[in-house]
Amino acid sequence: MDYDWQKVEAQLNALPQFVAEIDGLDIHFVHVRSGHPNALPLIMTHGWPGSIIELLKVIGPLTDPTAHGGRAEDAFDLVLPSIPGYGFSDRPQEVGWSPLRIGSAWDELIGRLGYERYVSQGGEWGAIISEVMVIQAPAGLLGIHVNMPGTVPPSVAKLVKNGDPAPAGLSDAEKDAFAGLDAFYRQGFGYAAMMNTRPQTLGYGLADSPVGMAASFYDKFAAWTHSGREPERALTRDEMLDDITLY
């Protein structure tokens, strides 16, 4: 198949993009102001394996909700930063750029843009960054939204780790959540175990083979989209390649 990076390049270049030096790193971000007055500032953080490309489809609905069936009071000013080491942001040259440090950098960025009150949203690593921002409790953060809740009660985590059945008395929704968690740890946790124990081994292999990296990420798109493991039902091949290429 033919792949045209210039198509997504033009899409990105049509957006207001900036670079800010924060804590010694150049952080790339998109900043789209809503045309509606009193729009609420929202900083959105992408995940892994990904980039800000995975957020492009929500820019219109969030900044101009009236054009998409929403209300003016639902409008947001959007700040879409690239996590350090991803996309066009600098790659750290030292250890320590944890979600806590990134959360502090995001609050610094929001302040520099002149916002005193804001909300945060994220998925995958972006969810973790948003969650630790709550722990840091910066003065202007009003709340967060995440689409990867990462908290499991210790008693439930122990059952999953031991391969035990779900506890009695769960609601249908809780049973579904337990089943999903159980399936992930039984069948989908291998990549994470490798990253946690042999990250350089895995990283060298993926970095040496673009096809290998694409195949690995395709597996994640299959598992992490509501597509029945057919990611093309949720994303086009170009959209997946765009995300992988910028990552």
DSSP letter (8 states) at residue 24: T
Tokens of 135: 């722990």
- What angle, 0 to 180 degrees and rounded to 10, lies between the N-to-C axes of helices 99-112 and 125-136? 70
Q: What is the pTM of this model?
A: 0.90
Buried b (16+ CB within 10 A) or exposed e, 52-71: bbbbbebbeebbbbeeeeee
Residue ranges in 93-141 assigned as alpha helix (H): 99-112, 125-136
Average pLDDT over all residues of the chain: 92
**pLDDT score recorded for residue 203:** 77
Summarised one tens digit per residue, pLDDT across range 60-109 is 999 999 999 999 999 999 999 999 999 999 999 999 999 999 999 999 99
Q: Where are the domains of the chain?
A: 1-151
- Please report where in the chains the tokens 């789209």 appear, as a residue: 32
* Euclidean distance between CA atoms 70 and 60, whole angstroms: 11
CATH topology of domain 1-151: Rossmann fold (3.40.50)
Q: pLDDT (tens digit, 9 = 90+) per residue, 162-175?
A: 889 999 999 999 99
